[in-house]
Structure 1
Amino acid sequence: MDEPRGAATRAARLVETGVALLCRLGALLGALTGLICFVLVCASVGWRYFLGQPQPWIDHVAAWLVVALVMFAAGETQRREEHIGVEVLTARLAPSGRRASRLFGSAAVAVTAAILLWEGLSTVAFSRMIGIATNVEGVPIWWVQTLIPIGAGLLLAAALAQIIVLACGIEPRGPESKAHHGVPGGRVE
């Protein structure tokens, strides 16, 4: 199906492309943090069970890396429309109903991400103000808490891009690997 042409459509696709690049970068950082977490846990096991020298700091850092992985990947997950959905219900809707449900879902995600962004920024500011530190020497807690507004910002950007595209009457682009198989909007039903 051909897309409607016009300045609004081009602008929506431009926003969508920019947000997709940011979300992919977030996913890359998430994958990297997952890999680092795996390496650290393996090293921890080695130190603890083979060398008899447990390294408790690794447990804390590994937990932070799991938070980083989730927050960095949230935007890309939204962009790909891979969050949990009730497709048993939405698949039975007419095309206009499916579009409305996708628009409502993206709006709900945007509101949630905006709240998470606002509260995350407030938490970081408060932690910086009172100087809370982690259990790891020299690491302030706000460094770790900064992951929350970063991830919320990525999630908000992805949801807003979907809202903009859907409001222009076009389908959001999903993952490129699916889009190349001729499925409109990159969705496999």
Structure 2
Amino acid sequence: MRAAARLLSGLARAVAGLAAAFGALATVMCLVLVAISVGARYLAGLPQPWIDKTAGWLVVALVLLAAPEAQRRFEHIGVDVLTGRLRGRASRGARLLGTLSVALVAGILLRSGLETVEFSRMIGVMTEIEGVPVWWIQALLPVGAAALLVVSLAQSLVLLLGQEPDHADQGPQDLPRDTLARGE
């Protein structure tokens, strides 16, 4: 069972890491393009509207591609007031419910994204930027959703095998005694 859990955790780590790497690349590209846009607009008086559109698409890419790593690290939004007080089976059950809920949403996003891409390809919708079909941007949704689905299902299976997923919260952490670290 431990070997299977390690294998599943490794798969989740690889998928999330690859998606996060592309998300990081999208972040850097967005930063560079926005800097170029600002320079072109305010220093040269030559606004480049295509950059604004592209930067928006890159923001979508970085959000969708960073979500699987956030899920893998359990850094998503949670109801810590409740889950932090649970112990044993109740804690594991809450974690399993959470990972399965994420898997369900990811599955819905995957299916919806695939249908959207298929429809856009069928009718040939293009963006305002010449030569860029809308489905290229829409493809980010099923790609990000698929990665999120793999990660959340791997976490669910690890929990069902009786193991703890990587980065699973181990309950409430004591606050540092240093008042500066606590922000007092």
TM-score, scaled to structure 2: 0.90
Point out 4+ residue stretches in structure 1 off by more than 3 angstroms. Answer: 185-189
1:87 Cα deviation after fit: 1.0
Structure 1 segments unaligned to the other structure (5+ residues): 1-7, 175-184
Shift of 1:94: 2.1
Aligned to 1:127: 120
8 Å contact kept, 2:5–2:163: no
- Which structure is richer in relative contact order (CA contacts within 8 A, separation 6 or more)? 2
Q: What TM-score, normalized by structure 1, do the two folds share?
A: 0.88
**Identity over aligned residues, as a percent?**
53
Shift of 1:136: 0.7
Matching of residue 54 in structure 1 with residue 47 in structure 2: yes
Q: Report the 3-state secondary structure (helix = DSSP H, G, I; strand = E; otherwise coil) of the residue aligned with 2:141.
A: helix
- The one-letter amino acid paired with 2:151 is A
Shift of 1:88: 1.4
**Pair 1:84-2:80 in alignment:** no
> Which sits farther off after the overlay, 14-23 or 134-143?
14-23
- Matches of 1:29 and 1:54 in 2, distance apart? 27
Which of the numbers 101, 104, 109 marks the counterpart of 2:102?
A: 109
Task: Answer yes or no: is the 8 Å Cα contact 1:121–1:146 preserved in 2.
Answer: yes
Alpha-carbon distance in structure 2 between the residues aligned to 1:139 and 1:10: 45
Mapped pair 1:148 → 2:136: no
Which residue is equivalent to 2:24? 31
Letter of the 2:89 partner, please give it. Answer: S
> Unpaired runs of 5+ in structure 2?
174-184
Give 2:34's aligned residue: 41
Q: Which amino acid aligns with 2:75?
A: E
Counterpart position of 2:66: 73
